A and B are shown apart, each in its own frame.
Chain A
Amino acid sequence: GQQVMQIPQYQHVQEGEDFTTYCNSSTTLSNIQWYKQRPGGHPVFLIQLVKSGEVKKQKRLTFQFGEAKKNSSLHITATQTTDVGTYFCAGRGGSNYKLTFGKGTLLTVNP
């Protein structure tokens, strides 16, 4: 079945440093979504990428979808303590109804 690998599993940074998490799928994706989960909370949708090579920005967050639609990345510039949480990618492949989630990257930020 479809697998989505996400690295790193953990990342600890000093406030102000940059952060990147990477996502790789075993199969071509129709789209990829990114979610953020604060400690003790539930996943909250951030963004969806659909087109090959697509780049989207949300303030300090930059999302990319690879040309082959099998990988994606999330980059945060100048992290803040409010960025703390687990970031998940989730890919949609052959099924229109199912998402396959990566295992997530836990980001901690030292003030």
Chain B
Amino acid sequence: NAGVTQTPKFQVLKTGQSMTLQCAQDMNHNSMYWYRQDPGMGLRLIYYSASEGTTDKGEVPNGYNVSRLNKREFSLRLESAAPSQTSVYFCASRREAQPQHFGDGTRLSIL
């Protein structure tokens, strides 16, 4: 049972490049989330998907787009990467009324 799988684990981009971070869960969870974690800032919600077919903005959505491809997969896209988007990105999922399960994270550097 893999849980929440994120790819890639590490990535370096140049300013202006685009990239999609992938997330898949095998726990049949309805809700999925994307967070970014920066030093001293905790976890900030970028976008979430309460259920298949729906997506909503979180606290820091600017510069990002998401796609809930199916119940298992929730991707995060950076259309034109900026140095301010250098961060560790975590995907999470949960079942109704249950805690969130996190992936191992993607460490993204933008030069």
Chain A positions within 8 Å of B, measured between CB atoms, are: 1, 6, 9, 33, 41-45, 48, 88, 90, 97-104
Report the stretch among B17-25, B41-49, B63-71 that lies at the interface: B41-49
Once the chains are docked, how many angstroms separate the CA of A48 from the CA of B99? Answer: 8
A57 CB to nearest B CB, Å = 18
- Tell yes or no: B100 within 8 A of A by CB: yes
A45 touches B99 (CB 8 A): yes
Of chain A, the residue at the smallest CB distance from B99 is: A45
A99 touches B50 (CB 8 A): no
**Given A1-B59, A98-B58: A45 touches B42 (CB 8 Å cut-off):** no
**One of A43, A90, A97, A99 near B90 (C-beta < 8 A):** A43
Q: How many A-B residue pairs have CB under 8 A?
A: 42
A42 touches B31 (CB 8 A): no
B59 touches A43 (CB 8 A): no
For chain B, the bracket of interface size reads: 20 to 34
B42 touches A104 (CB 8 A): yes
Once the chains are docked, how many angstroms separate the CA of A100 from the CA of B42? Answer: 10
A98 touches B40 (CB 8 A): no
Once the chains are docked, how many angstroms separate the CA of A106 from the CA of B7? Answer: 27
B90 touches A42 (CB 8 A): yes
Chain B window 56-98, contacts with chain A (Cβ cutoff 8 Å), 1 for yes, 0 for no: 1011000000000000000000000000000000100000000
Once the chains are docked, how many angstroms separate the CA of A47 from the CA of B35? Answer: 20
**One of B44, B48, B101 near A45 (C-beta < 8 A):** B101
Once the chains are docked, how many angstroms separate the CA of A98 from the CA of B42? Answer: 15
**One of B41, B45, B105 near A98 (C-beta < 8 A):** B45
Please name all residues of chain B whose beta carbon is closer than 8 Å to the beta carbon of A6 when the two chains form the complex.
42
Please name all residues of chain B whose beta carbon is closer than 8 Å to the beta carbon of A88 when the two chains form the complex.
42-43
B44 CB to nearest A CB, Å = 8
Please name all residues of chain B whose beta carbon is closer than 8 Å to the beta carbon of A100 when the two chains form the complex.
45
B102 touches A44 (CB 8 A): yes
